[in-house]
Amino acid sequence: MAKLSVNINKIATLRNARGGNLPNVKQFAIDCQAFGADGITIHPRPDERHITMADCFEIAETIVTEYNIEGFPDERYLSIIKEIKPTQATLVPDPPGVLTSNAGWDVSTQYETLKKHIETIKAWGVRVSVFVEPKEEDIERIAQLGADRIELYTGPYAEGYPLGDKSKEILPYQKACEKALACGLGINAGHDLNLDNLAFFNHSLRQLDEVSIGHALLSDALYYGIENAIMLYKRCLH
């Protein structure tokens, strides 16, 4: 069964909107794990518009499951990974000013850069995942670079899911998973997965190791509560 890692960036956004420490991001990470989350994901951006540098280290103290830190591999991000040594580092291609991660790496043009960063992070004993679109040639290159996993960018699937043929929308991801497995890569996924589209995605791709979900899950938690929201998302992964 795929694991559910809860991205808690938006909790930090809510706290930062008012100042102070409400909601308490560290306590929220503790509670998510107590309520059944299989991991915690954060994306500490340089402008600290949500997760701050201090949050990275405070959350690390709470982890009893898995800790996934996403980010663009600049000097700041790499220093965080080196010091904390989370379970997983997910490398995303978005530069600092981008609102959200909305594209995978252009692996062919960034091959040498990725190779250097993957080798560095793996030397620290951290699992490396690379954010990619469902393109078989990119997945093959990621395997050549020595990464442990890919994270499939699921934005196009989520956008197309309510509009047309579900089997057509899922097909590129099925092919991508086949290629990843053939290359010995683990498979994560994330971006705009929600209670409407997650179950079909998971059931169509039984090879999934992990999904990372934040915005939709926390939006649902406004209505259902965070414990119930986590339970509902985990049901989709059964």
Which residues participate in catalysis according to the annotation? 43, 70, 191
Taking the alpha carbons at both ends of the chain, their separation in whole angstroms is: 6
Residues ≥6 apart with Cβ < 8 Å to 236: 195, 198, 199, 202
Does residue 139 contact residue 179 with C-beta atoms inside 8 Å? yes
Nearest partner of 181 among 211, 221, 209, 202, judged by Cα: 209
3-state helix, strand, coil in the chain (%, to 5): 45, 15, 35
What are residue 150's DSSP bridge partners? 130, 187
Rounded CA-CA distance 112/117 in Å is 9
Alpha-carbon distances, residue 149 vs 77, 82, 185 (angstroms)? 19, 19, 5
Task: Kindly state the tokens that stand for 62.
Answer: 């709470």
Q: For residue 143, what are the CA distances in angstroms to 27, 68, 70, 121?
A: 37, 20, 19, 15
The answer to whether the Cα torsion of 20, 64, 220, 55 is positive or negative is: positive
